[in-house]
Amino acid sequence: MPNPFDLTGKVAVVTGANTGIGQAIALALAEAGADVACVGRTPAEETVAKVRALGRRAEIVSADLSTIEPVQRIVDEAVEKLGGLDILVNNAGIIRRADAVDFTEEDWDAVVDTNLKSVFFLCQAAGKHMIANGGGKIINIASMLTFQGGIRVPSYTASKSGIGGLTKLLANEWATKGVNVNAIAPGYIATNNTAALQADEVRNKAILDRIPAGHWGNPSDLGGAAVFLASGAADYVQGHILAVDGGWLAR
């Protein structure tokens, strides 16, 4: 019986692939057999080297997703360099922290443009290719704040809530066209984006007290969920937001 999680012959684009969650997902997809275009504002040289060490093809696609300027080029370079585009993982994102009463328009626009606007237009560009070529899998990276409000991160919360709605909208439109659109909502994962929370004794304790697993997650904890949603095993999964959170939402 064929392995439903086998990604051999598939080409994946992973944004924000140079570190953290993006790197972990790129490596997990490669371990399952996929070739990977590693997109990042900072060239993902380490990730590419690790993917190639697994025997898969990998290419760097340099792009700053604070604007939609590079969106079509990302798709075009992946297709040109690796021969196709079957899987898109929208992981690139930023966060800005301040009290809501002090939050600036600059910080609002920077986060929403990167975390939501560019995600939509990259989904659009990849979706056009996938629809024309028999289908594909799109995985957006949501957040616990897709479900909850958070504090001191208004634009991040708005953008990640938007990711949840966008994921469902695209699933509704593209399910009959062979494109599966789903999302992963990481819990509290130890990355650069969460360094400030980990360093804050009060907030760190409050977070750990609520996680049934009792510890922060590692980026590698998201790899299995990404492989599942990228694979044939998830062919009938549409518009779902899969929480990988150590039980956070269950408490």
Q: Catalytic site residues?
A: 156
CB-side neighbour CA atoms (13 Å) of 135: 13
In 91-249, which ranges are E strands? 136-141, 179-186, 241-244
Distance of alpha carbon 117 from alpha carbon 120, whole angstroms = 5
Asked if residues 87 and 137 have their Cβ atoms less than 8 Å apart, the reply is yes
Q: For the beta carbon of residue 25, count every other beta carbon within 10 angstroms.
A: 31
Distance of alpha carbon 239 from alpha carbon 156, whole angstroms = 21
Question: Phi and psi at residue 143, in whole multiples of 5°?
Answer: -170, 165
Asked if residues 162 and 241 have their Cβ atoms less than 8 Å apart, the reply is no
Residue 247: strand, helix, or coil = coil
Burial of 95 (0-12, 13-18, 19+ CB in 10 A): buried
CA distances from 95 to 23, 37, 40, 214, 218 (A): 18, 24, 16, 25, 19
